[in-house]
Amino acid sequence: MLVLIASPTGFIELILFFAVGAIGALCLRKDDKLANVRSSFFAIVGSLWGTIFSVGALFALNTILFSIGTPVFPLLSVSIAIDKLSAFFILVISLVSLFCSIYGFGYVRHFYGKYSIGALGFFYNIFILGMLVVVSASNALFFLIAWESMSVASYFLVVYDRRDPNNISAGSLYLVMTYIGTACIVLAFLMLYKFTGSFDFTIIKTMMGTIPDWIKNVVFVLAVVGFGTKAGIIPFHGWLPSAHPAAPSHVSALMSGVMIKTGIYMMIRLFLDILSPIPEWWGLSLLIIGSISSLLGVLYALTEHDIKRLLAYHSIENIGIILLGLGAALTFTSLGIHSLALLGLVAALFHTLNHATFKSLLFLSSGSVINQMHTRNMEEYGGLIKYMPQTALFFLVGSMAISALPPFNGFFSEWLTFQTLFQGIASLDFYAKWIFVGAAAVLAFTGGLALACFVKVFSATFLARPRSSEVAHAKEAPFSMRFGMGALAVLSLLLGIYSGHISAVLGYVGRDVSIFHDVPALFLSSEAGRLVVGNFSSVSAPVLFALLLVVLVVTWGVVRFFVYKKQEIHTGITWDCGTDLTPRMEITATGFSRSIISIFKSVLKPSMQHAVEYHDAVSRYLPKTRTVTLGVRDMYRLYLYEPINGFVVRLSRYVKRLQNGIINAYMLYMFVVLLVVLFLAVR
């Protein structure tokens, strides 16, 4: 059975599901309902098959290999190699796609008659297909084709709601950044090709000895920029907070949950598998980048009141956390400490899986809220728990998971990352030790800030009184949307409770990477549900879960029997200086984060504007309204993107002079080039 599932045929079937879904949606584009049914059906069935296939591939004895050569283009072959690492990423993509597609079936109905559902279904299926091929390709050229398919499809999904000019602008920025990243990736592959004569990953790996160290270093830098741009690491993150919110919510969930992980996949594949052995500074660089990304990501998230932009910034933060694990893994690998390197890799993989689940859950929940409220501004929410209780519960689960609260999954992957960093502090030399100390401190700090941020989001969105009239009209999401969210919420809990088993499986995945073959299986194990790391650390999810239940029950019992017992409850008007309670008396999302922003004002550069409207414009004694607008300047846009943009614009103006419309001038250019080429040929 396993042989039948985990086979080249199984993978081709997987691809065909999405291809048929895409083409079918396009063919039925004139009927929105049919197009939605067709594209969602194939996306759901394909994702389900992808999940089964990937589990089969995870436990298959051998790597799934097949290649279709093209005599016309000898360098390009449709080469697929699905080892355990690829299978893991296929699992993550399929699992999240499954629930997003179920959610999407109900969600896209509000686009009926507004935009083409057929086009949405086409690009959605192509997008998932592209991601699956990206993590399976073993030929650089074939990989680039898949990478481009994924990027172009996601661009069209970002600009799907094209009536909003901000979405078009976000899409353009995304496209530009994507192509800058792709240019770096192409350059990296060309450099590898120059020294190995092949675009095949296996051949490049076997010929790694022929590549000079400085070329490997250049490839590393190009790969970090190229794949880091897709992953959204700072400072290449500019597109992410704009593009992710612009897309339909189930697409945002996929982009933030899994698409950015394809960059992480390629970093793991290149740095740990193909380019090995590696120097120590690679790992330390990734640790520094990861620390900066996680800290600044969460700080920028705190300043946001656009719920989807806030979640997008948290993606930057979590990519930073994943890079902490990966950076530690690279550092230990370069020093030959393979057991700890495996621990770092497992921490990175586990957080990849966890972030995919809880971030998708959060995007889907926020999508349900936006669907009802017709705005992404949290300041206009409030009290939604009464109108959307199930959505509120799912959002709460996602918030707890992303804030690393046990027993949800986020806690355990961050715990593993901490263990990795602590081991680095204990075993490394002076300067590496301090980088690990800094990374651990940043991780702890980030956890605290993330918790504060989600207290803000949850309370501003679901608690207190409604801050706009729209809230009263809000209704719970349809069943398919609730099912998608509910399944991800349950998954977040299960991944936490079974973290011991999951980590053991991820250790098994990690040991499939050639440099970790010699690490003993018992280094990461599960004993009676406990996650055990070597002989130095362990944590028990079931115990934590039981403890949480006990605390909840005891708290409920204490309140029930000791506080309310024999007490009469009187309901009266709250004394509030003689006026009625109104939503204006609540603390706003901006107000909540103001104190934290003040602490980090040297980094965030906040701006504040006061506006006062008086009853009498002449006397100005009695203010009618007071408005405080708190803003945060985007430092990267101000000091990085805009100067680069200005330089490119100035350069373009000079270049434009060449395009003067005079034929003689064009002939002159050719003439000069001809002479230069002749001189160069003779020299």
Partner 1 sequence: MDIFFNQLLPATFFLTTIYFHLARKNFGIAIGYGIQSLAIALILLGSFFDTRSLTLLFIIILLVTFKVIIAPKFFIGLVKKHEVKFSSSAYLNLPLSLIVISVLIAVVHSRVFLPLASLVPAHSELVLLAIAGMLVSLFLVINRKGALSQIVGVLSLENSIVTFAIFSGLEQSTALQVGIMFDIAVWFVIATVFVSMIYKHFGTLDITEMKQLRD
CB of 672 to partner 1, least distance (A): 10
Measured distance CA(159)–CA(676) in Å, rounded:
45
Q: Are 275 and 220 in contact (CB under 8 A)?
A: yes
Q: Which is nearer to partner 1, 638 or 674 (CB)?
A: 674
Instruction: Name residue 157's amino acid.
Output: L
> Strand locations in 432-583, DSSP E?
524-527, 530-533, 537-540
Strand (E) or helix (H) holding 575: none
Residue number, 611 or 658, with CB nearest to partner 1:
658
CB 222 within 8 A of CB 117: no
Distance, CA of 102 to CA of 253 (rounded, Å): 12
Smallest separation (angstroms) from partner 1 to the CB of 156:
30
Angle made by CA atoms 216, 218, 220, in degrees to the nearest 5: 70
Compare residues 561 and 671 and give the one whose CB is closer to partner 1: 671
Residue with smaller CB distance to partner 1, 4 or 681: 681
- Does the CA dihedral 211-215-220-226 come out positive or negative? negative
User: CB of 652: closest distance to partner 1 in angstroms?
Assistant: 16
**CA atoms of 439 and 451, how far apart (whole Å):** 18
- In sequence order, the β-bridge partners of residue 527 are 530
Residue 261 C-beta: closest distance to partner 1, Å: 47
Q: How far is the CB of 662 from partner 1 (least distance, A)?
A: 7
Query: How many beta carbons lie within 10 A of that of residue 559, not counting itself?
Result: 11
Whichever of 554 and 673 has its CB closer to partner 1, that residue is 673
Shortest distance, position 661 Cβ to partner 1, whole Å: 3
Q: How far apart are CA 298 and CA 313, in angstroms?
A: 7
CB of 151 to partner 1, least distance (A): 33
Residue number with CB closer to partner 1 (618 or 658): 658
Minimum CB distance to partner 1 smaller for 444 or for 675: 675
Do 492 and 408 meet the contact criterion of CB atoms below 8 Å apart? yes
Euclidean distance between CA atoms 395 and 400, whole angstroms: 9
What whole-number distance in Å separates Cα of residue 355 and Cα of residue 361? 10
Q: Which residue lies nearer to partner 1 by CB, 441 or 668?
A: 668
Angle, helix 541-558 to helix 479-497, in steps of 10 degrees: 110
Q: State which residue, 627 or 664, has the beta carbon closest to partner 1.
A: 664
Instruction: Walk across the sheet containing 537-540 and list its strands.
Output: 524-527, 530-533, 537-540
SS (H, E, C) 147-193: HHHHHHHHHHHHCCCCCCHHHHHHHHHHHHHHHHHHHHHHHHHHHHH
The least CB distance from residue 675 to partner 1, in Å, is 7
Q: For residues 130 and 151, what is the distance between their CA atoms, to the nearest angstrom?
A: 8
Q: Which chain residues interact with partner 1 by CB under 8 A?
A: 659-664, 667-668, 671, 674-675, 678-679, 682
Least CB distance from residue 654 to partner 1, whole Å? 17
Q: Min. distance of Cβ 664 from partner 1 in angstroms? A: 5
Q: Which residues contact 463 (CB under 8 A, 6 or more apart)?
A: 382, 383, 385
Cβ proximity to partner 1: between 430 and 679 the closer is 679
Shortest distance in whole angstroms from residue 678 CB to partner 1: 6
- The full length of the chain comes to 683
User: Which residue type sits at 380?
Assistant: E
Nearer to partner 1, 628 or 668 (CB): 668
Return the amino acid letter for 658: L
For residues 79 and 142, the answer to whether their CB atoms sit within 8 Å is yes
Phi/psi of residue 232, each to 5°? 85, 30
Which positions ≥6 away from 535 have C-beta within 8 Å? Answer: none
Tally: H helices and E strands in the chain: 26, 7
Question: DSSP for 236-262?
Answer: S-TTHHHHHHHS-HHHHHHIIIIIHHH
Minimum CB distance to partner 1 smaller for 68 or for 680? 680
What minimum distance in Å lies between the beta carbon of 669 and partner 1?
10
Instruction: Pick between residue 12 and residue 677 the one whose CB is nearest to partner 1.
Output: 677
Quote the least distance from Cβ 650 to partner 1, whole Å: 21
Coil/strand/helix, residue 277: coil
CB of 667 to partner 1, least distance (A): 5
Taking the least distance from each CB to partner 1, the nearer of 627 and 659 is 659
Sign of the CA dihedral with 618 first, then 619, 623, and 629 last: positive
| Closer by beta carbon to partner 1, 570 or else 657 | 657
Question: What would the two tokens of residue 44 be?
Answer: 């759901």
Helices (H), 75-164: 84-107, 117-134, 140-158
Contact 440, 425 (CB under 8 A): yes
Q: Residue 648 CB, nearest distance to partner 1 (Å)?
A: 22
Question: What residue has token string 């976000």?
Answer: 170
Of 573 and 662, CB closest to partner 1: 662
| Least distance to partner 1, CB of residue 680, Å | 10
- Smallest separation (angstroms) from partner 1 to the CB of 245: 38
Q: How far is residue 251 from each of residues 156, 390, 572, 619, 660, measured CA to CA in Å?
A: 11, 21, 47, 54, 44
Write phi, then psi, for 609 (nearest 5 degrees).
-125, 130
Residue placing its CB nearer to partner 1 in the complex, 622 or 670: 670
